[in-house]
Amino acid sequence: MRDYLRPDSGGRSTVFGTRGAVACEHPQAALAGIRVLDAGGNAADACVAMAAAMAVLGPMKTGMGGDAFLLYYDAATGGIRGLNGSGGAPRGLTLKNLRERGLSGMPERGGLTVTVPGAVRMWEDANRELGRLPLADLLEPAYGFAEEGFPVSEVVARYWKGAEGLLRKNAAAARTFLPGGRAPEPGELFRQPDLARTIAAVMEEGAGAFYGGEVGRSIARSVREAGGYLSEEDLAAHRSLWVEPVSTSYRGITVHEIPPPGQGVAALEMLNILEGFDLSDLDALSADRIHLEAEAKKLAFDDLHAKVGDPDFGEIPTAELLSKEYAAKLRSRISLFRAAEAAEPALGSDTTYLCAVDAEGNGCSFINSLYMGFGSGVVAEGTGVCLQNRGSSFRIIEGHPNAPEPGKRPLHTIIPGLATEENGALWAVFGVMGGPMQPQGHAQLLVNLIDYGMNPQQAVDHPRHFHHEGTLLLEGRVPEREADRLRDMGHRVEVGADYAIPTGGAQLIRVKEDGVRACGSDPRKDGCALAQ
């Protein structure tokens, strides 16, 4: 047996169950999900409950002020549905206005970067259309964490500490997230009464309490005071979108992703390119494998940043990008021995991903994000809501598919993944947090599972690599001789920690042929998988 099939140093085992299962990056959120399943909820209910809990437990990663997406597998019909819970640009955000401000590129933070937060509406729509339990029941754990407090976990505390400078720039953010003038330490109890009141309003009145009333007015006013354009009308007009997932086959497994403006097309394009190589003949930690995945990523991301945007504002060549014929042309450009040059814009990296499979076999893959850590850095006064900076990914280039326009959804990094077998049965729900790492992580995770036959926890633990802005980051567990070989091929290599934060955090539930749920949860995060 090859070395990579031995348990990695993360020390975790695959979690098995025969009924429901959840995987999430925080144990308390995972517990909330499994309790929803115990109470008769389904996979969608469990994911909404976990996402809401994470909005409190991981406030720099996700929140009510962010966006969300899901993929849902219906066991009764075999159908797969997608829900786009991202918000559009404010009506006042135009190229003309940005240029009048002297901008040639979008700022990373501040009011100008705030787009309509879509998560809360999406939670309600997912629950109403797919779920079984009342929305208020699903938000109860999140309310409890906000009102009564929770001990801050270690990874979250590390992220929080790194964001102190950003939070001090906004008075409401500093009051909300820096009690005593500093970030909480690991294990320190943190309460958020303002957010508890906001959650309670949604529990009582539904999503309308967030997109209107006092909460909506505070959000719009706080954004305008921070130099942005978001209005009460923008909030009131927001709706989620039910979408048809896009997919491709990889060695007999069909992989499904959310369509543009999400970057799921890049993950599928990478898999199409890699399918033409005999990866299983290469060692899973070899420079040869890593090189091929890095080169496939460069080609897919060239297309992503040049051709993908909101399809409601222009035609996106999705079918061409996902065709096997197109992949063959791209594959022919890859040298087996030399790295190609690549350039790309920087993208944010803070997100929460979670997934669930219920006793009936329904599967939900769910992702929620503020984009960069603590998003825009703007907190709506009196609400506890930190607002996302998703608008920072717009390109101030006339005619670009990702140029800002009123109501336009920006290119989105967050992507839930779902895979089915040839007969249509659910094979896995999965995701990898971390901005531009996400498509790379999807491809690497699936190659681990399919080409190398790893079990879910091995596939999640296995050393990952991250190509971004011209640098190939390797986790420290990649052998030094393979790092040197990659340098010889022309890659600019950086070796990080054994479990490096930029390589993202994965959660995975694999449904085996006998119906057993096999779950993996990333040791790079605080969370766990639980199963009934």
Show which residues are catalytic: 351
Q: Which residues contact 399 (CB under 8 A, 6 or more apart)?
A: none
Using DSSP, state whether 513 is helix, strand or coil.
coil
**How many CB atoms are located within 10 Å of the residue 506 CB?**
33
Chain Cα centroid distance, residue 209: 26
Cβ burial of 97 (10 Å; 0-12, 13-18, 19+) is middle
Distance CA 180, CA 520 (A): 37
Q: Is the CB of residue 296 less than 8 Å from the CB of residue 443?
A: yes
Q: How far apart are CA 230 and CA 233, in angstroms?
A: 8
Torsion angle of C-alpha atoms 163, 202, 26, 166, degrees rounded to 10: 0
Maximum Cα–Cα distance across the chain? 63
Distance (Å, rounded) from C-alpha 250 to C-alpha 450? Answer: 9
Instruction: Return d(Cα 253, Cα 514) in angstroms, integer.
Output: 17
Alpha helices in 10-60, H assignment, sequence order: 27-38, 43-57
C-alpha to C-alpha distance for 47 and 53, rounded to whole angstroms: 10
Nearest CA to 198 among 55, 311, 315? Answer: 55
Question: Cβ distance 218 to 65 under 8 Å?
Answer: no
Structure tokens of 82? 């997608």
- Angle 529-357-431 (CA atoms, 0-180°, nearest 5)? 65
In our burial notation (b when 16+ CB lie closer than 10 A, e otherwise), range 160-191 reads: beebeebbeebebbbebbbeeeebbeeeeebe
> For the stretch 267-291, what's the b/e string if a residue is b when 16 or more beta carbons lie within 10 angstroms of its beta carbon?
bbbbbbbbbbbebeebebbbbbbbb
H-type helices in 226-263, by residue range?
232-237
Which residues touch 168 (CB under 8 Å, ≥6 apart)? 174, 178
Site of tokens 């060239």: 302
